[in-house]
């Protein structure tokens, strides 16, 4: 199979600055007009096409981008990603119903809470070997849910009701059923996340993550402060999860511990693996396909997790690099030296 990622990169390398700006603007416009294409074959039998586009599709894309920093960029297997999502959502729910703060004011607080949780978990967990990390994070994800299930303040199994929607911003109203507005807001968050990841990847942090992913011992011997960069990857991943959580709570108006099961972590992991670990476009593609298909094809929605489990096994065994594999960095470097 051809490597679409390399083909895309080739086109990108060849085009000049104006062409690049045009490509970016055209892609953003194309994606932003997606909710306007309702009523077509894209409609799903269960929910309206526009609402599916917001949740799960855009939601999954955002979280998959966040998890990709942890798994794809630095090779740390985080199986409790849902914990950060839950922390963001519960921050929004608690502050939104108890205080006068609105969604935009809570967003940074939710992100900070998720990052703090990432730090608390990361400091003991990231000193360990990869597979221990997997189990620790797996447990952590479940613990957050159990705590929400048993604490009076967090509403126990009934969850928290009447979470406020975001207040108008730049004159845009957030009505409960105007999915387009939510989609466009999520799109902005996604673009911000992509921008953050791309800037970081091109800099010191990105190189450090890459070296950790390839061989942690060698990286450490070459003087990369591996522990510090692993914490950074973990905390940044958590921040994106937290942001997604805040927005999710504000969109659905109601959250309960059942929204934050281990399955969510596995679903997001499947998105990252299916699309291509480490390559942001692959991850986005994976999330779109895996979030959309089960809603589109009815019989899949019951067996959704079963299918996702199969995806993990099959992809790992047959195409471990995913649909759109990461760019072969070594190859790119050689080309540059020649020219």
Partner 1 sequence: MIGNFLDQFWSLTFGGLSLGFIYILIALGYTLVYGVLRMINFANSEIFMVGTFATVIVIRDVFHFTQSSEYATGLRLWFILATALVISMLVSGLLSVVVEVVAYRRLRRKNSGILAPLISAIGVSMVLAETVRIMTDSRPVAAPRAMDKTFIGQFFDAGVRLDNTIIVIAALLLFIALTTFINKTRMGKAIRAVSMNANAARLMGINIDGVISATFLIGGLMTGAAGFFYVLKYENTASNIGFELGIAAFTAAILGGIGNIKGAFFGGLALGLLETYASFFLGTQWKAVTVFVVLVLVLYTRPNGIFGESMQQSRV
The closest of 59, 26, 54 to 271, measured between CA atoms, is 59
Residue 303 interacting with partner 1 (CB under 8 A): yes
The correct pick among 313, 330, 333, 336 for binding partner 1 (CB under 8 A) is 313
Q: Does 302 bind partner 1 (CB under 8 A)?
A: yes
Residue 311: CB minimum distance to partner 1, A: 7
The mark string for 89-128 relative to partner 1 (x by CB under 8 A, - otherwise) is -----------------------------------xx-xx
Choose among 241, 233, 247, 200: nearest CA to 126: 233
Question: What is the pattern of x (binds partner 1, CB under 8 A) and - over residues 134-153?
Answer: xxx-xxx-xx--xx-xx---
DSSP 8-class letter at 327: P
Task: State yes or no: residue 79 binds partner 1 (CB under 8 A).
Answer: yes
Tokens of 325: 């594999």
Q: What region, left, alpha or beta, does residue 16 occupy, with left being phi > 0 and alpha being psi -120 to 50 degrees? A: beta
Q: Which of 11, 23, 119, 310 binds partner 1 (CB under 8 A)?
A: 310
Write out the binding residues for partner 1, residues 44-73 only, by CB under 8 A.
71
Which of 311, 319, 327, 328: binder of partner 1 (CB under 8 A)? 311
What is the H or E stretch that residue 147 is in? Answer: helix 130-150
Tell me the DSSP string of 39-98. TSTT--SSS-HHHHIIIIIIHHHHHHHHHHIIIIIT----S-THHHHHHHHHHHHHHHHH
79 is written with which tokens?
A: 């199986």
The reply to whether 320 sits near partner 1 by the rule CB under 8 A is yes
Residues near partner 1 (CB under 8 A) are 71, 75, 77, 79, 124-125, 127-132, 134-136, 138-140, 142-143, 146-147, 149-150, 262, 266, 269-270, 273, 302-303, 305-306, 308-314, 316-317, 320
């Amino acid at each position: 199979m051809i490597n679409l990622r390399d083909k895309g990169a080739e086109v990108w390398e060849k085009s000049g600055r104006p062409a690049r700006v045009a490509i970016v603007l055209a892609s953003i416009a194309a994606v932003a007009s997606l909710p306007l294409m309702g009523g077509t074959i894209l409609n799903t039998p269960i929910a309206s096409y526009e609402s599916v586009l917001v949740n799960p599709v855009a939601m999954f894309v955002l979280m998959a981008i966040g998890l990709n920093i942890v798994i794809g960029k630095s090779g740390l297997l985080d199986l409790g990603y849902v914990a950060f999502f839950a922390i963001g959502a519960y921050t929004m729910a608690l502050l939104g119903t108890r205080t006068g703060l609105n969604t935009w004011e809570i967003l940074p607080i939710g992100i900070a809470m998720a990052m703090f949780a990432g730090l608390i978990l990361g400091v003991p967990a990231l000193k360990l070997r990869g597979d221990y990390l997997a189990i620790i994070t797996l447990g952590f994800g479940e613990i957050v849910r159990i705590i929400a299930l048993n604490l009076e303040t967090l509403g126990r199994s009934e969850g928290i009701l009447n979470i406020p929607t975001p207040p108008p911003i730049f004159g845009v109203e957030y009505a409960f059923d105007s999915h387009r507005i939510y989609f466009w807001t999520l799109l902005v968050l996604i673009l911000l996340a992509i921008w953050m990841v791309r800037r970081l990847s091109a800099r010191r942090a990105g190189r450090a993550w890459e070296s950790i992913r390839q061989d942690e011992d060698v990286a450490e011997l070459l003087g990369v402060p591996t522990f510090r960069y692993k914490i950074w990857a973990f905390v940044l991943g958590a921040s994106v999860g937290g942001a997604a959580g805040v927005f999710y709570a504000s969109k659905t108006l109601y959250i309960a511990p059942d929204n934050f099961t281990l399955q969510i972590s596995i679903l997001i992991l499947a998105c990252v693996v299916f699309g291509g670990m480490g390559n942001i476009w692959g991850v986005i593609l994976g999330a779109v396909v895996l979030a959309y298909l089960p809603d589109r094809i009815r019989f899949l929605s019951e067996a959704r997790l079963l299918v996702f489990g199969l995806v993990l096994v099959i992809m790992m065994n047959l195409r471990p690099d995913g649909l759109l594999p990461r760019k072969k960095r070594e190859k790119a470097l050689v080309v540059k030296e020649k020219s």
